[in-house]
Amino acid sequence: MSSSIKTPLSNRIKADGSVTTLEEYQVEYGYQGLKKALDMGSNDLLNLVKDANLKGRGGAGFSAGLKWSFMPPAETNPGPRYLICNADEMEPGTFKDRWLMEGDPHQLVEGLAIAAYAAQAQTAYIFLRADYDLCAERLEAAITEACQAGFLGKDIMGSGYNLDMYLHTSAGRYICGEETALINSLEGRRAIPRAKPPFPQVSGLFGKPTAVNNVETLCNLPHIVHHGVEWFADLGIGEDNGTKLYGVSGRVKNPACWELPIGTTVREIIEVHAGGMQDGVKLRGFLPGGGSTDFLTTEHLDLAMDFGTIAKAGSRMGTGTMILLDDKTCPVGMVLNLIEFFAQESCGWCTPCRNGLPFIRQVLQDMENGLGKTEDLDRLLELCGYIGIGNTHCALAPGAAEPLQSALKYFREDFESHVKNQCCPFGNEKGSGKADHSHAAHTHSHETA
């Protein structure tokens, strides 16, 4: 893989679904990024990643290097330190990390080792979604191979740096995508988000300094270290650097995941890479970054898919994996499908989320079944406020409110039609609730920086 390669994260992933072996990974510069990192001081490495402007690819878009810098210096705070890879991919519509882990697991192992060295952690964990059986199998094999080759364990590559890496299979809840809930689960506790401060970088796993990063974020590190900051900056379009794994689910001709320059337009992703809409259907809107982001519409097709641009449009790029709404799919039913998921996955810790999401679910179910009332529209908006940012213990409920509040903004006539006609206009029978929203994504994963 030369520096001219524009898809560094996916270049080794094979079309037939077979895994990239250690020998294949090393053909170009596999584990050479780790070797180069170990030859640097950990602070120099941290500053390199800061300068590269690597933003978290799990959804938050926060600087990876800056996150590590919040950990107290090892010299003044001796003792265990931890680096955790969040691979608990459960955000509806998101499947990008699975693609990386199944196809090229050594890339993640090397990236996690580089991050651990930058943070001066001697223990690293991959916290993996429980359903990802093939990922687990291939990651376990990769960790074993890396240990046997001297890329993990004691005195890695003669550097004096020691790192133990473990694969931990999640108990299987969406809330584990929130980093402090993930840490609680890793400790064997109930997966409930912790109050902040203290932040994990100061008091995380077992009360020790801990950093948590997403799979895609970590996979960038071997390439950044090997090629340098300027190379990484040149990969992006606009204000963000590097590439991004974009995905599309819904009624397109080619639903899939692609590695593209970060900042690629929504239109190019949908019309060129996803092949456009299927015959007989038209695009009405899309959730740009998974199920917990606000709808955008066809007027936003020419926006760049980067963190700042999508935020200015009133949504979030999130995971960069779009869920499309077409003109044959009921937006009320699509939102109901998402609310049912979020209500099920609430940890139940705070009242607005524990009680608010089931209440919203019931109102939407009544609408779909021909029992909606005019006042339900204002009630739904009011409920979105009750579960919004600042009113809940974590971001699960506010994220669940985003597709609902934006659907009420852009597709209000569909909600009004449900009430006026006492049925779902996309259904077959009055009051049946048989809306055609089967293409609202049922693939789940979560976001972290």
* Nearest in space to 223 (alpha carbons), one of 198, 241, 201: 241
Classify each residue of 172-183 as buried b or exposed e, where b means 16 or more C-beta atoms within 10 Å of its C-beta.
ebbbbbbbbbbb
Tell me what percent of the chain is helix, strand and coil, each rounded to the nearest 5.
Answer: 40, 15, 45
- For range 348-355, the mean pLDDT: 95
Average pLDDT over residues 92-120: 97
Amino acid, single-letter form, for residue 407: A
Q: Once rounded to an integer, what is the mean pLDDT over residues 216-232?
A: 97
pLDDT of 438 strictly over 50: no
Sketch out the chain's domains with CATH numbers: 22-235 (3.40.50.11540), 246-449 (3.10.20.600)
In this predicted structure, what is the pLDDT of residue 4?
60
CB contact burial 390-404 (16+ within 10 A = b; e otherwise): ebbbbbbbbbbbbbb
> Which element (helix H / strand E) includes 164?
strand 164-169
Q: What percent of the chain has pLDDT over 90?
A: 90
The model's pLDDT over 37-55, given as tens digits with 9 standing for 90+, comes to 999 999 999 999 999 999 9
> 247 forms bridges with which residues in the sheet?
257, 321
CA distance 405 to 367: 16
pLDDT at 14: 96
| H helices present in 17-81, as ranges | 22-25, 32-38, 42-52, 64-69
Q: What is the pLDDT, as a whole number, of residue 2?
A: 53
Comparing 373 with 429, the larger pLDDT belongs to 373
164-169 β-sheet, strand order: 164-169, 123-128, 82-87, 210-214
Pairing of strands 243-249, 283-287: unpaired
- Taking the C-alpha atoms of residue 43 and residue 71, their distance in angstroms, rounded to an integer, is 12
pTM above 0.85, yes or no: yes
Could you tell me the two tokens for 4? 């001219």
How does residue 3 score in pLDDT terms, banded at 50, 70 and 90? Answer: low
Q: In sequence order, what DSSP letters do the residues of 96-148 get, joined into one string?
A: HHHHHHHH-HHHHHHHHHHHHHHTT-SEEEEEE-TT-HHHHHHHHHHHHHHHH
pLDDT at position 447: 39
* Whole-number Å distance between alpha carbons of 219 and 213: 10
Find the mean pLDDT for residues 132-150.
98
pLDDT digits (tens, 9 = 90+) for 285-304: 999 999 999 999 999 999 99
**CA 159 to the chain's CA centroid:** 33
Residue 430 has pLDDT above 80, yes or no: no
Name which of 448, 444, 368, 427 is nearest 130 in CA terms: 444
What's the mean pLDDT in 142-171?
Answer: 96
pLDDT at residue 282 tops 90: yes
pLDDT of residue 60: 83
Mean pLDDT, rounded, for 335-356: 96
Q: Could you give the CA distance from residue 396 to residue 350 in angstroms, rounded to a whole number?
A: 11
Q: Which pair of tokens denotes residue 282? A: 């038209």
CA distance 336 to 338: 5
pLDDT of residue 428: 41
Question: Does residue 448 have a pLDDT over 80?
Answer: no
The values of phi and psi at residue 187, to 5°, are -80, -5
Q: Give the residue-averaged pLDDT of 160-188.
A: 95
- Over the chain, what is the mean pLDDT? 93
